């Protein structure tokens, strides 16, 4: 089955800096890669996703890149703000199977 590794486990940046979180997956059949943000005491919420037919997707300050050959994908947050502080989870799956999540990255943005 699928296995997703996520790094780093914690990340501290200054407000305005960029943050990058990386994930690798094991199952070459996986074709869907979402990212979730979980603020303290709240539910995980989808922030961006990418499918295997696309190499990059951007939504304002957030972007995701996918390298299918190397089986890794990354979340990029530019111009970070204190409200970006949260735990970020990557996930992967193929159609018809449940998402398998990484361990999460705790992002702290200090002002």
Position 53 contacts other proteins (CB under 8 A): no
Among 102, 105, 107, 109, binds other proteins (CB under 8 A): 102
How many other β-carbons are positioned within 10 Å of the β-carbon of residue 59? Answer: 10
Structure tokens at 24: 């690798």
Q: Which is nearer to other proteins, 35 or 80 (CB)?
A: 35
Position 11 contacts other proteins (CB under 8 A): no
Q: Which is nearer to other proteins, 63 or 100 (CB)?
A: 100
Among 52, 78, 85, 97, binds other proteins (CB under 8 A): 97
β-strands 105-110, 10-14: how paired? parallel
Position 74 contacts other proteins (CB under 8 A): no
């Amino acid at each position: 089955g699928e296995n997703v590794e996520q790094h780093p486990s914690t990340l501290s940046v200054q407000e305005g800096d960029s943050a990058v979180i990386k994930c690798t997956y094991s199952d070459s059949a996986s074709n869907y890669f979402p990212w979730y943000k979980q603020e303290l005491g709240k539910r995980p919420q989808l922030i961006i996703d990418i499918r295997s037919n696309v190499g990059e997707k951007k939504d304002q300050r957030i972007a995701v890149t996918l390298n299918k050959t190397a089986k890794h994908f990354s979340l990029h947050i530019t111009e970070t703000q204190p409200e970006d502080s949260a735990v970020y989870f990557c996930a992967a799956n193929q159609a018809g199977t449940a998402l398998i999540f990484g361990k999460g990255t705790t992002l702290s943005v200090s002002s």
